[in-house]
């Protein structure tokens, strides 16, 4: 989604703006950015990853919960509120402390687009790395069968990256011990290139 800048607001004004409009906004310490809608492929992949992660966790009888892009994530060190495409939270008390947002995802997924790829790989990943709970950051291309997973081992600041490529790949989400086939992640999408 492409971000469009609008004038600065207080946090309360930001919440009110969201309540009275049909637009979602990111909040970065007083700076507000509106989020534009995504493509059909983006929507399908977001739905697929949410469903497959939820089903995988349910099959394991995990207490971890999957959230879609309707839920805000608060990043306290930068005083930011953002909307990841999908999150997994294993802290059962997380959503009880604030009705407007969650704070402790173990896994975050972003589906890339041409307009947001640089942001998702750069500044947004920098914001996410400020979360002590985050162990895994997943970037999914929407026009080719490529998934990049950044994984941080517990008690470490070092991130490794694994690239999954091709329709026959199995994508492993280490933080929650769930594997999803590339076919399921891209179910019903229109992919022209397999590179």
Q: Which residue has the tokens 């162990």?
A: 135
In order, the DSSP letters of the chain are --EEEE----HHHHHHHHHHSS--EEEETTEEEEE----HHHHHHHHHHHHHHHHHHHHTT---EEEETTSEEEEGGGTEEE--SEEEE--TTGGGS-TTEE--EEEEEEE--TTTHHHHHTHHHHHHTT-TT--EEEEE-SSSSEEEEEEE-TT---EEEEEEESTT-EEEETTTTEEEEHHHHTTT-------
**Per CATH, domain 39-70+83-185 is 3.40.50.300:** no
Q: What is the per-residue burial (b if ≥16 Cβ within 10 Å, else e) of 171-181?
A: bebbbbebebe
Say if strands 65-68 and 86-89 run parallel, antiparallel, or are unpaired: antiparallel
Q: Which residue has the tokens 């086939």?
A: 181
Structure tokens at 99: 């009705």
Residue 4 pLDDT > 80: no
Provide the mean pLDDT of the chain. Answer: 88
Averaged pLDDT, 167-183: 97
Domain boundaries, the chain: 1-37, 39-70+83-185
Q: How many CA atoms lie within 13 A of 66 on its CB side?
A: 20
pLDDT value at residue 126: 94
Tell me the whole-structure pTM to 2 decimals: 0.87
Residue 160 pLDDT > 90: yes
Q: Of 8-17, 28-37, 118-127, 154-163, which range is least confident? A: 28-37
pLDDT band (50, 70, 90) for residue 193: low
Structure tokens at 131: 């979360």
């Amino acid at each position: 989604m492409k971000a469009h800048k609008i004038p600065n607001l207080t946090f309360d004004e930001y919440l009110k703006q969201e309540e009275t409009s049909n637009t979602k906004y990111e909040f970065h310490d007083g700076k507000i950015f509106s989020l534009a809608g995504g493509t059909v492929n983006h929507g399908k992949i977001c739905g697929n990853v949410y469903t497959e992660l939820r089903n995988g966790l349910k099959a394991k009888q995990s207490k971890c919960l999957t959230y879609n892009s309707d839920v805000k994530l608060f990043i306290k060190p930068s005083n930011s509120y953002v909307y990841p495409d999908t999150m997994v939270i294993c802290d059962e008390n997380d959503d009880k402390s604030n009705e407007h947002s969650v704070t402790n995802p173990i896994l975050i997924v972003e589906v890339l687009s041409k307009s947001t790829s640089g942001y998702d790989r750069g500044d947004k990943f920098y914001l996410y790395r400020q979360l002590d709970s985050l162990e895994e950051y997943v970037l999914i291309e929407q026009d080719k069968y490529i998934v990049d997973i950044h994984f941080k081992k517990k008690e470490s600041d070092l991130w490794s990256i694994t690239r999954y490529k091709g329709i026959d790949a199995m994508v492993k989400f280490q933080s929650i011990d769930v594997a999803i086939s590339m076919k399921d992640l891209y179910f019903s999408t229109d992919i022209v290139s397999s590179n």
